[in-house]
A and B are shown apart, each in its own frame.
Chain A
Amino acid sequence: DSGVTQTPKHLITATGQRVTLRCSPRSGDLSVYWYQQSLDQGLQFLIQYYNGEERAKGNILERFSAQQFPDLHSELNLSSLELGDSALYFCASSATLPGTGELFFGEGSRLTVL
């Protein structure tokens, strides 16, 4: 158990809809990261938040947005969903101090767009 909690574990929705994925980081971790893993793809970095502020941005679509709340949980909002958005979405958190670069991952939210 990494200590990172993601909900929901599975989500099935239709094209054009909007969904929200939720992540609770490990206790004490201020940084939250979102990654997308599509079929046969590696983990693609989407966005990072640190203590409520956006810290780094990857290849995140304009239809996607995220935020980190004062209690440090984070939400990833996916709108105008397309078939190609079907993927595993992972949240990760990390310690605030320099370390070995390790991120701690949740079990992921599997999104299926029909």
Chain B
Amino acid sequence: DQQVKQNSPSLSVQEGRISILNCDYTNSMFDYFLWYKKYPAEGPTFLISISSIKDKNEDGRFTVFLNKSAKHLSLHIVPSQPGDSAVYFCAATPTSYGKLTFGQGTILTVHP
């Protein structure tokens, strides 16, 4: 039972354009949603999060949108840079602390 799903295994965009990574979830108990970035040979690093009381959270070039009724969230990166090339994981948790349930990840490649 995959409670968090990232249906796109990979995404390729041009430098300067927008990258949109998508994530769907099935567990209505999830209250916090996070995005992590992972480079090869490194551990995942936290990027941005959003709680269920919000529908948008912005941090510089990164914006996360949450649509609770659709159980869908997305990460927008504008403008995309080659250094953004990494695996992006969506994660969710029912509380603000505790274990995270991760999606399968999306490989983002930003071409110069």
Interface residues of A (CB under 8 A from B): 2, 4, 31, 33, 35, 40-45, 48, 55-56, 58, 90, 92, 94-108
Is A107's CB under 8 angstroms from B41's CB? Answer: yes
Q: Is the CB of B99 within 8 A of A105?
A: no
Q: Which residue of A lies closest to B103 (CB)?
A: A42
Contact between chains at A45 and B101 (CB < 8 Å): yes
Q: How many Å from the CB of A35 to the closest CB on chain B?
A: 8
Residue picked from B43, B49, B91, most chain A C-beta under 10 Å: B43
Taking residues whose C-beta sits less than 8 angstroms from the other chain, chain B's interface range is 20 to 34
Nearest CB of chain A from residue B54's CB, rounded to whole Å: 11
Q: Which residues of B contact A (CB under 8 A)?
A: 4, 6, 32, 34, 36, 41-46, 49, 51, 89, 91, 93, 95-105
Q: Is the CB of A43 within 8 A of B102?
A: yes
A95 touches B99 (CB 8 A): no
Beta-carbon contact of B97 and A43 below 8 Å: no
Please, which residues of chain A bring their CB within 8 A of the CB of B95?
A: 98, 101
Provided the pairs A33-B99, A58-B99, A97-B97 are in contact, do residues A42 and B34 lie with their beta carbons within 8 angstroms?
A: no
Shortest C-beta distance, A93 to chain B (Å), equals 11
**B101 — which chain A residues lie within 8 A by C-beta?**
45
Q: How far is the CB of A9 from chain B (nearest CB, A)?
A: 9
Q: Do A31 and B45 have beta carbons less than 8 Å apart? A: no
Contacts of A107 in B (CB 8 A): 41-43
Are A98 and B41 interface neighbours, CB within 8 A?
no
**In contact, A31 and B97 (Cβ under 8 angstroms):** yes
How distant is the Cα of A44 from the Cα of B104 in the complex, in angstroms? 9
Which chain B residue shows the least CB distance to A45? B99
